């Protein structure tokens, strides 16, 4: 055929890489080194994700996976533990024996104390030996699934031992788990420490929400369709609600959660990330910096909430005892491990304003809580009513605003609510909902968020990871609220019944603007 | 996957030599409604209609039709589509055409969610072939891509495929399954070249390129992706990258089974090659891919260097050449077993034992102390997976189109 063709991509170092197969993803073979390999995250999320990537052929064969933890453990015992994790938590189970055996042959365990500088020499030697054995080039992806207080010391030691050095076209990257600080000052300090030992391009701050299919689809939905962007602004949007609701309580995380609270745990990172994706301007390109530049602009446009406004524009509460999921559950202060005088919020709602041209006058209502009525994470964009109401009779009383809902979990999908005429002679109107659900439209299970993010990090694509300035901009908005709450003590701390949709003060917060929370 | 609900229509929609398109559409709407009501009654949750494409699959015999229906059902689970299966009775010269419609719901994924697709089955006698393409055109879902899958090789030689392709975005082949794969590819390429969408692009002299146009997608090319990835991985090993631009020869060994005797019959080597045409397509596609990725240009015709071997010479210093070598092995006929790359500085190899899922990638470069060797797991795709992956690609694949002239040069003469 002699046909007009789009030209091939620019010449690559490896001319055999790259294809038009939408399922292929360019990843260099590397060593994925997991610090904190004995922890829950490794067993529940990371290894199942790596197994699925391997099963789908996304991990180049000579990739090595190395677990690092303090406790000495033979490779085979580590493999057995990880296989158990896959059998229990993988989205595809039971494990395919051939695929598992192949992955297991490249799965190793190294005992090292990540807080001890001396351990890193041994780690380096052991890692080099694993790489040599498996034919893995010295590309390294370190996943720090360790307590936040050890992050800086681990990166410092990785650098000092030369493990983060790059040479001869090989790379070293490090994935850092949240929390990225507990307030603005600690976040800045952590960023300074990280950047002292690694470049920003080597640091991948992971927020697993960004790996979810619907979150990624948000960008596609907005910027690959021509019909939504023209109405995605203050002229047509009445307000935006972002909800992250959980039915569970603290569930064995009492120690961590009571120090953090739902605002640090969920709103500062997940919810503000969702807000920035909803509100951002179109990036100049779909690459890491262009996307993150636009996101950080949104975070910087958030109108600061002054101390005097905190009780009007925010709500915080703790759950009381009640019934959740048909079971009687204790109140937050009665949960094991929670001090009876704790003022930590298990629910928070914030009325935000994005001060820019696009969103001027459009309130963004954020809420997140534990022990709520349903588990649901979604973004709802409520549009303004038509400028002239043609249908005004009593039979048209059910005319409701258009709502576009992007559901992130469960049942990832998108729905649009619009008004329709009920069949019959009279002009009776009724809201109807049109749904697009990933699960019932595409029979294949979308990959887990960690699969996508691990693959992206190995491919050097940091679009779905949080940059230092994003973290700091988010903390700049949240820290003054937290400080005011702290100074207020229990003065504004509300309660809500377990299994409900949150406290009265949150209903009041949104009612003050003449709006109401959606029933999710 | 298990099909849990299939709501076939009792009615048929043929009226002599024409199909009642409006009635088919109406029946489909009724079926969706029934599916939703049945699902709600049984507590199965709502039935959601989603459609990202029309998939047309014409066939000419019962056995193929059954296989195609199964593959389409599995594919629809991944790619929500309207499936239009066409069964043509080439022996029946009457002017008869009929259709049935059904909504097929299956439980898929670990959560066993209901995924439904609509299926229209058209049965046409050879005498009413001319009614097929207009009927299919009227039944395509508006605004979404349409693909014509050609599982039945016999139909490639009839006007039906070019006619169906006129309103489609791509034609899908499975060259490995054809007895004359090179001829089938040639026909498909001719359909693409003559397609109005491609001719329009040519007339626009759109040198900068456009993603539009009508394309040819070969499921065997999709299955070969794992070998393409293996090759890329191989040349990322220490020392191997230096070999890339100095590569001189490529030797591809592939499995031959049924044709063993013919291949080994040195007296009838030419005939052997012809009779084993099907076995040669997979290595030929790989060879085309490899050489085109390196920008090699053909310097000669296919030659049989020794009985059963096919070789192509390429332009450039040092005598670049690609040799395909059949080997008796207990594996899928045509499956690639060994690929040897050699250059002046060293050698590299992809080796897979017959029937094995994993193989070895090895590199031996003279200035390195010892050979590097890693294991590699090759992905095996069933027909539904291969079809589904093909459907996620852009209709035109530049790498495939660039490989084609080289791959086709291996066609047995």
Residues of chain B positioned with their CB less than 8 A from the CB of A135: 237, 361, 372-374
Q: Are residues B154 and B227 in the same domain?
A: no
**Are B399 and A20 within 8 A, CB to CB?**
yes
Closest chain A residue to B193, measured at CA = A1
Q: Are residues B117 and B256 in the same domain?
A: no
Interface ipTM > 0.85: no
Q: Are residues B128 and B243 in the same domain?
A: no
* Cβ A132 vs Cβ A171: under 8 Å: no
Q: Does A423 touch chain B (CB under 8 A)?
A: no
* Cβ B96 vs Cβ B134: under 8 Å: no
State the number of CA atoms in the 13 A half-sphere of A202 facing the CB: 23
Where do the H-state alpha helices sit in A65-198?
A: 75-89, 97-104, 119-134, 151-160, 184-197
Domains along chain A with CATH numbers: 31-177 (3.40.50.720), 211-511 (3.30.360.10)
Size of interface A-B (CB pairs under 8 A): 166
Cβ density class B21-56: b for 16+ within 10 Å, e for less: bebbeebbeebbeebbeebeeeebeebbbbbbbbbb
> Which residues touch B126 (CB under 8 Å, ≥6 apart)?
B88, B89, B90, B91, B92, B93
**Are B79 and A19 within 8 A, CB to CB?**
no
Residue B303 maps to a domain: yes
Angstrom distances, CA of residue B58 to CA of B133, B140, B148: 10, 14, 8
**Are A23 and B389 within 8 A, CB to CB?**
yes
Where do the H-state alpha helices sit in A382-435?
A: none
Q: Does A227 touch chain B (CB under 8 A)?
A: no
Give the 3-state DSSP-derived string for chain B, with helices as H, strands as E and coil as C.
CEEEEEEECCCCCEECCEECHHHHHHHHHHHHHHHHHHHHHCCCCCCCCCCCEEEEEEECCHHHHHHHHHHHHHHHHHCCEEEEEEEEECCCCCCCEEEEEEEEEEEECCCCEEEEEEEEEEEEEHHHHHHHHHHHHHHCCCCCCEEEECCCHHHHHCCHHHHHHCCCCEEEECHHHCCCHHHHHHHHHHHHHHCHHHHHHHHCCCCCCCCCCCEEEEHHHHHCHHHHHHHHHHCCCCCCHHHHHHEEEEEEEEEECCCHHHHHCHHHHHHHHHHCHHHHHHHHHHHHHHHHHCCCCECCCCECCCCCCEEEEECCCCCEEEEEEEEECCCCCCCEEEEEEEECCEEEEEEECCCCCEEEEEEEECCCCCCEEEEEECCCCCHHHHHHHHHCCCCCCHHHHHHHHHHHHCCCC
Cis amide leading into B125 (omega within 30): no
- Rounded to an integer, the average pLDDT of A48-53 is 94
- Secondary structure of residue A386 in the 3-state scheme: coil
pLDDT band at B208; cut points 50, 70, 90: very low
Chosen from A26, A31, A53, A61 to mutate, greatest number of chain B CBs within 10 A: A61
Residues B355-391: pLDDT tens digits?
A: 998 899 988 887 665 567 888 889 889 999 999 999 9
Residues of chain B positioned with their CB less than 8 A from the CB of A2: 193, 202
Q: Are residues B267 and B391 in the same domain?
A: yes
Cα-only R_g, chain B: 24
pLDDT at A487: 94
A376 CA to chain B: closest CA distance, Å?
17
Residues of chain A positioned with their CB less than 8 A from the CB of B113: 437, 439-440, 443
Q: Are residues B161 and B270 in the same domain?
A: no
**Are A445 and B238 within 8 A, CB to CB?**
no
Catalytic residues of A: 270
Q: Which residues pair with B55 in a beta bridge?
A: B83, B147
A114 CA to chain B: closest CA distance, Å?
30
Residues of chain A positioned with their CB less than 8 A from the CB of B50: 436, 440-442
- Secondary structure of residue A74 in the 3-state scheme: coil
**Are A57 and B377 within 8 A, CB to CB?**
yes
Q: Are residues B133 and B8 in the same domain?
A: yes
Residues A383-430: pLDDT tens digits?
A: 998 887 777 766 566 678 899 999 888 878 888 988 887 777 777 777
Closest chain B residue to A57, measured at CA = B379
Length of chain B, please?
413
- In this structure, of A73-82, A277-286, A493-502, B41-50, the range with the lowest mean pLDDT score is B41-50
Cβ density class A358-397: b for 16+ within 10 Å, e for less: bbeebbbbbbbbbbbbeebbbbbbbbeeeeeeeeeeeebe
Residue B26 maps to a domain: yes
In this structure, the strands spanning A413-421 and A403-409 are antiparallel
pLDDT at B109: 57
Closest chain A residue to B357, measured at CA = A98
Residues A427-473: pLDDT tens digits?
A: 777 778 787 877 667 766 778 899 999 999 999 999 999 999 999 99
pLDDT at B270: 45
> Helices A151-160 and A184-197: crossing angle, nearest 10°?
10
Residue B278 maps to a domain: yes
Q: Does A401 touch chain B (CB under 8 A)?
A: no
Q: Which of B142, B168, B194 is the last residue of a domain?
A: B168
For B350, phi then psi, to 5°, come to -110, 120
Q: Are residues B240 and B163 in the same domain?
A: no
Give long-range contacts, CB 8 A cutoff, 24+ apart: B173-176: B173/B216, B173/B217, B173/B218, B173/B219, B173/B220, B174/B150, B174/B218, B174/B219, B174/B220, B174/B383, B174/B386, B175/B218, B175/B219, B175/B220, B175/B281, B175/B285, B176/B219, B176/B220, B176/B223, B176/B278, B176/B281, B176/B282, B176/B334
Q: Are residues B130 and B233 in the same domain?
A: no
Q: Are residues B163 and B312 in the same domain?
A: no
pLDDT surpasses 60 at B263 = no
Closest chain A residue to B2, measured at CA = A443
A23 CA to chain B: closest CA distance, Å?
7
Facing A440 at nearest CB: one of B114, B225, B235: B114
* Cβ B249 vs Cβ B322: under 8 Å: yes
Closest chain B residue to A60, measured at CA = B233
- In this structure, of A83-87, A173-177, A184-188, B272-276, the range with the lowest mean pLDDT score is B272-276
Where do the H-state alpha helices sit in A238-313?
A: 254-262, 272-279, 288-301, 310-313
Closest chain B residue to A437, measured at CA = B48
Residues B77-128: pLDDT tens digits?
A: 888 889 999 999 988 888 888 999 988 877 665 566 667 788 999 999 988 8
* Cβ B285 vs Cβ B182: under 8 Å: no
B63 CA to chain A: closest CA distance, Å?
26
Chosen from A409, A443, A446 to mutate, greatest number of chain B CBs within 10 A: A443
B-contacting residues in A 34-63 (Cβ below 8 Å): 54, 56-57, 60-62
Domain that holds residue B83: 2-168
Angstrom distances, CA of residue B344 to CA of B238, B247, B264, B294, B366: 16, 8, 32, 16, 9
Handedness of CA A263, A264, A265, A266 (dihedral sign): positive
Q: Which of B150, B168, B186 is the last residue of a domain?
A: B168
- What does the angle CA A313 – CA A316 – CA A320 come to, to the nearest 5 degrees? 150
> Which residues touch A246 (CB under 8 Å, ≥6 apart)?
A368, A369, A370, A371, A372, A375
A399 CA to chain B: closest CA distance, Å?
24
pLDDT surpasses 80 at A40 = yes
Chosen from A28, A135, A445, A448 to mutate, greatest number of chain B CBs within 10 A: A135
B-contacting residues in A 333-352 (Cβ below 8 Å): none
Q: What order of strands is seen across the sheet that includes strand B113-125?
A: B2-8, B97-108, B113-125, B81-89, B53-59, B146-149, B170-173, B215-218
**Tokens standing for A196?**
């002292």
Residue B188 maps to a domain: no
Residue B212 maps to a domain: no
Residues A237-269: pLDDT tens digits?
A: 999 999 999 989 988 788 889 999 999 999 999
Residue B241 maps to a domain: yes
pLDDT at A23: 53
A287 CA to chain B: closest CA distance, Å?
21
H/E stretch holding A430 reads strand A429-437
**Are A19 and B192 within 8 A, CB to CB?**
no
Residues A114-147: pLDDT tens digits?
A: 888 888 999 999 999 999 888 888 899 999 998 8
A77 CA to chain B: closest CA distance, Å?
23
Closest chain B residue to A138, measured at CA = B238
Please give the mean pLDDT across all residues of chain A: 88
Q: Are residues B25 and B138 in the same domain?
A: yes
CATH number at residue B362: 3.30.360
Q: Are residues B258 and B164 in the same domain?
A: no
Q: Are residues B155 and B43 in the same domain?
A: yes
pLDDT surpasses 70 at A326 = no
Name the more confident of A57 and A301: A301
Residue B208 maps to a domain: no
C-alpha B399/C-alpha B288 separation (Å) is 9
Residue B190 maps to a domain: no
Nearest to A68 by CA among A28, A120, A27, A104: A120
- Total domain count, chain B: 2
pLDDT band at A6; cut points 50, 70, 90: very low
């Amino acid at each position: 055929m002699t046909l007009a063709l789009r030209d091939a991509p620019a010449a690559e170092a490896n001319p055999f890489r790259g294809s038009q197969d939408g399922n292929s993803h360019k990843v260099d073979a590397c060593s994925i080194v997991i610090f904190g390999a004995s922890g829950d995250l490794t067993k529940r999320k990371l290894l199942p994700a790596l197994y699925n990537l391997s099963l789908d052929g996304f991990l180049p064969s000579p990739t090595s996976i190395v677990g690092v933890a303090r406790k000495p453990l033979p490779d085979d015992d580590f493999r057995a533990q990880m296989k158990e994790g896959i059998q229990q938590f993988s989205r595809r189970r039971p494990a395919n024996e051939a695929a598992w055996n192949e992955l297991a042959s490249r799965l190793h365990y190294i005992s090292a104390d990540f807080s001890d500088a001396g351990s890193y020499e041994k780690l380096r030697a052991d890692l080099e030996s694993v790489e040599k054995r498996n034919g893995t080039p010295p590309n390294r992806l370190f996943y720090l699934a360790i307590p936040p207080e050890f992050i800086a010391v681990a990166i410092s030691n990785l650098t000092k031992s030369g493990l983060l050095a790059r040479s001869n076209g090989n790379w070293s990257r490090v994935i850092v788990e949240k929390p990225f600080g507990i307030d603005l000052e600690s976040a800045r300090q952590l960023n300074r420490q990280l950047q002292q030992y690694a470049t920003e391009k080597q640091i991948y701050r992971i927020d697993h929400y960004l790996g979810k299919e619907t979150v990624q689809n948000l960008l596609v939905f907005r910027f690959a369709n021509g019909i939504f962007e023209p109405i995605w602004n203050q002229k047509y949007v009445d307000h935006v609600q972002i909800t992250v609701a959980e039915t569970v309580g603290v569930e064995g995380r009492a120690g961590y959660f009571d120090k953090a609270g739902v605002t640090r745990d969920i709103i500062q990172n997940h919810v503000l990330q969702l807000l920035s994706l909803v509100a951002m301007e179109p990036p100049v390109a779909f690459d890491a910096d262009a996307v993150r530049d636009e996101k950080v602009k949104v975070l910087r446009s958030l109108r600061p909430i002054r101390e005097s406004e905190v009780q009007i524009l925010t709500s915080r509460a703790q759950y009381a005892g009640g019934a959740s999921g048909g079971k009687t559950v204790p109140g937050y202060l009665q949960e094991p491990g929670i001090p009876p005088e704790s003022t930590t919020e298990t629910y928070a709602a914030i009325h935000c304003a994005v001060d820019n041209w696009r969103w001027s006058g459009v309130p963004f209502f954020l809420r997140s809580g534990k022990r709520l009525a349903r588990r649901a994470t979604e973004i709802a964009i409520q549009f303004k009513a038509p400028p002239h109401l043609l249908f005004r009779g009593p039979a048209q009383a059910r005319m409701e605003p258009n709502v576009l809902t992007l559901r992130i979990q469960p049942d990832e999908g998108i729905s649009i609510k619009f008004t329709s005429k009920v069949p019959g002679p009279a002009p009776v109107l009724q809201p109807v909902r049109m749904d697009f659900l990933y699960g019932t439209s595409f029979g294949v299970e979308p990959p887990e968020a960690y699969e996508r993010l691990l693959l992206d990090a190995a491919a050097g694509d940091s679009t779905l990871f949080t940059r230092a300035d994003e973290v700091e901009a988010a903390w700049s908005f949240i820290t003054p609220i937290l400080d005011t709450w702290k100074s207020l003590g229990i003065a504004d701390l509300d309660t809500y019944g377990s299994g409900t949709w949150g406290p009265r003060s949150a209903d009041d917060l949104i009612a003050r603007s003449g709006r109401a929370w959606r029933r999710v | 996957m298990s099909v849990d609900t299939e709501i076939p229509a009792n009615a048929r929609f043929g009226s002599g030599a024409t199909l009642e398109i409006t009635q088919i559409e109406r029946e489909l709407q009724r079926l969706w409604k029934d599916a939703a009501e049945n699902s709600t009654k049984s507590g199965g949750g709502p039935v959601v209609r989603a459609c990202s494409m029309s998939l047309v699959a014409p066939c000419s015999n019962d056995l193929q039709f059954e296989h195609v229906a199964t593959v389409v059902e599995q594919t629809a689970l991944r790619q929500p589509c309207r499936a239009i299966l066409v069964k043509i009775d080439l022996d029946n010269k009457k002017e008869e055409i009929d259709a049935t419609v059904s909504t097929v719901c299956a439980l898929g994924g670990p959560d066993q969610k209901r995924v439904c697709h609509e299926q229209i089955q058209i049965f046409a006698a050879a005498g009413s072939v001319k009614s097929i393409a207009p009927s299919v055109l009227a039944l395509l879902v508006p605004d979404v891509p349409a693909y014509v899958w050609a599982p039945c090789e016999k139909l490639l030689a009839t006007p039906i495929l070019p006619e169906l392709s006129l309103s489609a975005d791509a034609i899908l082949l499975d060259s490995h399954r054809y007895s004359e794969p090179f001829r089938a590819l040639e026909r498909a390429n001719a359909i693409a070249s003559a397609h109005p969408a491609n001719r329009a692009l040519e007339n626009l002299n759109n040198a900068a390129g456009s993603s539009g146009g009508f394309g040819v997608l070969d499921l065997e090319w999709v299955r070969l992706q794992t070998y393409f990835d293996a090759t890329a991985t191989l040349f990322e090993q220490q020392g191997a990258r230096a070999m890339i631009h100095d590569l001189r020869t490529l030797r591809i060994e592939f499995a031959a089974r049924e044709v063993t005797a013919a291949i080994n019959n040195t007296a009838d080597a030419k005939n052997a090659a012809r009779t084993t045409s099907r076995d040669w397509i997979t290595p030929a596609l790989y060879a085309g891919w490899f050489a085109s990725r390196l920008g090699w240009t053909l310097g000669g015709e296919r030659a049989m260097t020794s009985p059963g071997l096919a070789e192509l010479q390429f332009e450039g210093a040092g005598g670049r050449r690609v040799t395909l070598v059949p080997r008796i092995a207990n594996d899928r006929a045509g499956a690639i077993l060994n690929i040897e790359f050699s250059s002046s500085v060293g050698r590299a190899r992809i080796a897979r034992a017959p029937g094995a899922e994993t193989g070895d990638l090895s590199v031996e470069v003279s200035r390195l102390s010892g050979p590097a060797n890693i294991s590699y797991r090759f992905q095996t795709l069933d027909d539904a997976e291969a079809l589904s992956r093909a459907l996620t690609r852009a209709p035109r694949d530049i790498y495939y189109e660039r490989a084609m002239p080289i791959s086709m040069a291996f066609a047995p003469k």
